[in-house]
Amino acid sequence: MQQALEQFRVRMATANRRFIQDRVDEIEARGLAREEVKWQKMVEYRHIYLPNERENGFPPRLVDLPAAMDMDMGQVFPFPLNGVHPPRLRTHEAREQFLDMLQQVFQQQAADWAAERGQETPGLVPRCDELGVFLQYAYAVEDPDFRLSAIPPFEPGLMLLSEEQAALAETQPERYRELDREECAQVREYLESDGIGDLIHKSMVGPSVESDDLEFKAGVVTGTGYIGEYPHWYSAYLYCRQRDDAVRDDAIPDAPNIRIGRGGSLSLTTRGISWRLL
C-alpha cells in the first residue's frame, strides 16, 4: 500500500506540475503585456485565482508560478499537489475503532437491504481491513482536477478529525483519543441518518452499477466530483461481487488488490465478493 501511494504521489505531482507549466508557457507565448490579463487567462482553471485573492500565495508574475510551487506548495495551493492527504487516524487504536464502527454500520445496512427485498438475512459482512492499511498512510487521495473534469476524491476517512485534531496524536494523545471517540460516534450517527448520510442506497446506484455487472451488499460514498455546484461523479467503497451472468473478457488478466491506473489513478480491486473501490 505504501508503495502504491508513493507511485500515485509521484505521478500526480508530475502531471500537475507539467499541466501548470504548459499553461503558463502557452499564455506567456501570446505576448500579453499586462500580468493581470495573463492571470485572467490562468484563472479559467480550477483552484487558480488572481494573486492576493482569497489570501493565496500566487506570485505577482505568472511566469514565477511554477517556481513558487516548487519552493513551497503549501503556500500556493491549499491542498497537496501530489494528491495525497496525510493520515488523520494516526494510531492503531483509532483505526481499529473506525473499522469496527464501519463493520457494524455495514452489517445493519446489508440486513436492511435484504429485508427490503424479502431475502434471507445476509451472513457476516467482514471488516474492510484493507481500508485500514490505506488509512495508516493517507487520509484521502484527490486529483486537484485543474481541468474541471469533476474527478471525485477517494476520502474513506469520512471527514473524521481535522488536520489540527490529528496532530494531537503526537502532542496530546489522551485528548486525541477522546476526540477520536467523539467524532467516530458522530460519523456513525451521520451515516445512519436516513436521507442524509453517505451510505449507498439501492435506488441511487442500482440502475447504473448493480444492473450492469455487480451485485453489492453494502457500501458508502467516499467522494463527490462537481461541475459547478452540481454533483457529477462519485467514488464509492462497496462490498460486492461480479454477477455470475455478467459479460467477462477472459483475455483481460485479473487485477491485483492495489493497482495504479492510467493517469495515476489508484484502485483497490479483487475478484469474488469483497470490498472494492469504484
Task: Output DSSP code: residue 209.
Answer: I
CB atoms within 10 A of CB 212: 11
Mean pLDDT computed over 37-56 = 74
pTM over 0.85: no
Cell numbers given for 271: 475478484
Look at residue 257 in the predicted model and tell me its pLDDT.
Answer: 44
- What mean pLDDT, rounded, does the chain reach? 79
CA distance 174 to 91: 12
Query: Which residue from 269, 266, 199 is spatially nearest to 240, judged by alpha carbons?
Result: 269
Amino acid at 87: P
CA distance 125 to 199: 15
Give per-residue pLDDT as tens, 8-35.
889 998 998 899 899 999 999 998 889 9
Strands 214-227 and 266-268 come out as: unpaired
User: Percentage of the chain surpassing pLDDT 90?
Assistant: 27
Do residues 131 and 275 lie in contact, with contact meaning Cβ atoms separated by under 8 Å? yes
CB atoms within 10 A of CB 116: 9
